[in-house]
C-alpha cells in the first residue's frame, strides 16, 4: 500500500508602486528651498562682484569692507 500526501502551497505577494501625497509635497518643498538657496547664492555673488567693481578691485574692496566694519 502506498500512502501519498498532497500539499498545496500558495504564495501571495503584493507590491505597491504608488506614491504618497506627503512624499510629493516634501519633494516640492525641497526643490523650492534649493531653488531659493541658489537664487540667494547667485544674488550674493553678483553683489560681491558689483562691490569689487565699485571699489576698484579686490584689495580695495577688502579695505573698504574693513573700514566699514571697524568704523574708521
Quick one: cell of 25? 509635497
The b/e string for 49-61 (b: 16+ C-beta within 10 A; e otherwise) is eeebeeeeeeeeb
**pLDDT values of the chain reduced to their tens digit, one per residue, 72 residues:** 567 777 777 787 777 666 678 888 899 999 999 999 999 999 999 999 999 999 899 999 999 989 999 988
Rounded Cα distance between 30 and 47, Å, is: 26
Rounded Cα distance between 62 and 55, Å, is: 9
Amino acid at each position: 500500500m502506498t500512502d501519498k500526501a498532497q500539499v498545496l502551497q500558495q504564495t501571495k505577494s503584493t507590491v505597491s508602486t504608488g506614491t504618497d501625497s506627503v512624499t510629493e509635497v516634501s519633494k516640492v518643498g525641497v526643490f523650492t528651498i534649493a531653488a531659493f538657496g541658489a537664487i540667494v547664492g547667485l544674488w550674493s555673488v553678483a553683489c560681491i562682484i558689483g562691490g569689487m567693481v565699485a571699489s576698484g578691485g579686490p584689495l580695495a574692496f577688502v579695505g573698504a569692507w574693513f573700514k566699514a566694519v571697524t568704523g574708521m
